[in-house]
Amino acid sequence: MATLLLLRHGQIDANRKGLWHGSTDSSLTWRGRRQARKTARHLAHNQRPIDAIYTSPLERCVHTAEQIANNMAVKPVVVEALREYGIGDWEGLAFQHLTQTHDFISRATRDLNFAPPGGESLSAVAERIVPALKEIHEAHPEDAQILVVSHGAALAVALSTLIDRTPTRWVDYQFSNCSLTELVLSPAPYVNFFNSTQHL
């Protein structure tokens, strides 16, 4: 059956510093580029080929996807709905500051319609990324393996919504940079493996 191979982008400077980057754009660090190259080599030697690649429009995901596509005859397709959970005026703040000063995680989880100034709510993220994943899945035959390059928080919201049937469990899904997660959507959503980093 068709599977979605979820890949979080390689490291960026904000990841290294513990900052929420959200919809802010930036390039991969040296380590992030190395992670992407290692992931590309791993997938190129995988027994099951990648039939299609979809990516968030943000540079960190596009560059990660391009590293992998370089080893394959597959061109990445940019999907706007795969972008990161945007938190508006609070982007660039440390996770610790977001917790201690704004109580962001708890507020977003308690009230699915809560959105930081200029940012998105948890429900808004779920309402764009889950349909996008389903559309990607339905566009390919049953035996396809599809690579989806996205972001830690956005993918966490997607898995929580699909597996737990609520986005409120998003904090239970922690994705490492360039980790791989295999998601099956049909007949019911489940995960074959989660946050695998052995290839790194």
Helix, strand or coil, per DSSP, at residue 67: helix
pTM of the model as a whole: 0.96
Q: How many Cβ atoms from other residues are within 10 Å of residue 117's Cβ?
A: 8
The confidence score (pLDDT) of residue 72 equals 87
Q: Which residues of 21-51 are buried (b: 16+ CB within 10 A; e: fewer)?
A: bbbbeeebbebbbbbbbbbbebbeeeeeebe
**Residue 72, SS3?**
coil
Residue 148: enclosing H or E segment and its boundaries? Answer: strand 145-150
Q: How many distinct structural domains can be found in the chain? A: 1
Q: Which helix (H) or strand (E) holds 102?
A: helix 95-102
Q: What is the pLDDT of residue 165?
A: 96
pLDDT tens digit sequence for 34-88:
999 999 999 998 878 999 999 999 999 999 999 999 978 899 999 999 999 999 9
The range of the structural domain enclosing residue 45 comes to 3-196
Q: What is the CATH number of the domain that holds 143?
A: 3.40.50.1240
pLDDT tens per residue, range 98-143: 999 999 999 999 999 999 999 999 999 999 999 999 999 999 998 9
- Residue 144 identity (one-letter amino acid): A
Which of 39-53, 109-123, 152-166, 179-193 has the lowest average pLDDT? Answer: 39-53
Q: How far apart are CA 169 and CA 32, in angstroms?
A: 27
- Say what the pLDDT of residue 77 is: 98
